[in-house]
Structure 1
Amino acid sequence: MKIDFANLQYQHELYKNEIEEAILKVARNCNFIMGNEVEKLEISLQEFTGAKYAISCSSGTDALLLAMMALDIKPGDEVITTPFTFIATTETIAFLGATPVFVDIDEKTYNINPDLIEEKITSKTKAIIPVSLYGQPADMDKINEIAKKYNLKVIVDGAQSFGSTYNGTMDSSLADISTTSFFPAKPLGCYGDGGAIFTNDEILSNKMKSLRLHGQLKRYHHKYIGIGGRLDTIQAAVLNVKLKYYAKDLALRQEVAFKYTKALANKSNLVLSYIDEKATSAWAQYSLRVKNRDELQEKLKKAGIPTAVHYPMPLHLQECFTYLGYKKGDFPVSEIVSNEILSLPMNPYVTDEEIEYIVENI
């Protein structure tokens, strides 16, 4: 059996006619930048998430960058986040000249451990960036409580968690600003790079809209130093089609995850995915932990089962962050998880037969 990890081809076939017609419509109109499809998408994103303002942008990375720019994060500031995430979370902090300050993760959810945050707060701390890893929001009650106590801003890195919830609220409305990614392999993906930013603050919304257009308020009149961070119209057109079916896809992801967990529950040598009772996950990944990961990964590969490691090296040990002065052993939970974590094929279309085959081989 040959299994597809993300199964993007199958999804395209499902919505092929609508998506290709939407792309052709943009091509015929030649309105490639900030076309009508972009505004339509932003309105639909607001309706789907319940956030007051949705601002589309060029990528999940630029979403984080724009969020921090809107909050005036600058050189000398400190931003608290997790070392167990994709590099964009921390890369954007460093890009603005601010200092990433790491806090270790919770061993069950793999998200930032809120009980360790306060000890890292200094007079230079300006914000906290929790990551909704693998699709599950962090413990936002505790994080927002700490932020309020110390007058800090919170940005949710929801690149993997669009459509997830915490205490019944979608992750797009859990902080001062929330971001997401529409990278093709994400739960809601476009056909290139794309992202979005969410907020309930009108002032922040207007500022981020300006920042993504080189800081201009009207053509060639610039209030801020901004970036070219727009989502192109073709990607918006693709997302407009896929968003219509996204609730169904999310439900199918839940089913796939449930079936994996049920089928693997009696495997004592595995640590399975854990979802907090307050949260729901978008299941960007189904990840488990195993001691002999490399051996298992090689066996699965020979059986035609693709896997991935998200992520093999925590950020405090990456060469580009050596200037921060961290060393091995500083964040032990992140280091243990990075050595054991393994992601199985995850998409809405994983069949029962494929799950059975994967579990047999594990």
Structure 2
Amino acid sequence: MQDFSSFIEECERGPRLNELSDFFSATAAGQSGVPLRRPRLDRRLLPKDGTLVQFAAVHDVRQGPFDQHYLSSIPYRLEEECRIGCAVIKYARKKRTTLKLYSLGTAEGTMARTISEIGGGKIQTLSCSPNVENLRSFYAYGVPPHANFFHGPFHHLTPERIQSSEDLKKFADGFDIILEDTTFQMYSSNRHDQIRFVSQHLKKDGLFLFVEKFKHEDETEYRRRENQKDYGFKTRFFSSDDIKAKEDVVLTQMDKNEVTLREIAKTMRAFFDHCVVTWNSGNFYTLVASNSAENVDRFLAMLPAPAIPDEYVYGHIPYRLIPTLELG
């Protein structure tokens, strides 16, 4: 059995549960960080795909306060969430058994809930958050079928806790897909132990998806992309004062815990044989990692084309991070 005691202590000291706790609570409750207008899909960018249209329609009516803040903060993140959700549903349809998905960091769990709702029993999902406000949003539309919510931070969800819970023990044999959505960077830069801990829950041929903000080796380039995000996109939803306030409160903490793509590639080689970059928006990227090349390729085949204007994309997507390293 692996020893995670020092790692769990590190997580308990992390900004997410301390310096940033008030921000996350107030935002999840809709008391602050509310966008001037609700984020809407740019349908001009989306392919004509029945599953994608269905996912987007259900997701739109299930969003909570934190969803609306988050999806207004990252250029075309809403389109990417719909793209991933669509791919998961299609991927599940090709499996003979029920697909199990664990989403950590997706606030109210809207994406996982929507996937389960459309999956109709073919997909069982688990979401988690330490915020009771997100728990309330998760149940705001009733008890969702085939979707569960763990009220606690990701490092409290141990295999022992899953096994001992009547609601969660159905996940004891592991998950086919795990999605980490901008969670790790809120705790520390210790990606090795973060991945090591969460990978306890991943099946040996499962997919681990990461949506993260990455540092750039060139600080000037990093800031240029930040300015593009803030003043080319976020001003549609937030005032200049709101953007500056969030930078002062949140981003200065988060920046300390980001890593570069080169660093994450080096770390992931200890766990995965394959990793592909499937989306990019400025300093944000989606990565798909696994020890099964077949499952990576199958998932990529289900992904619609990225729905984002070219000026936000830095590199030729998709490209392999592992086994090769081709950074744009």
**Structure 2 length normalisation: TM-score?**
0.34
> Looking at both structures, which has the greater relative contact order when contacts are Cα pairs under 8 Å and sequence separation is at least 6?
1
Question: Larger radius of gyration, structure 1 or 2?
Answer: 1
**Structure 1 length normalisation: TM-score?**
0.32
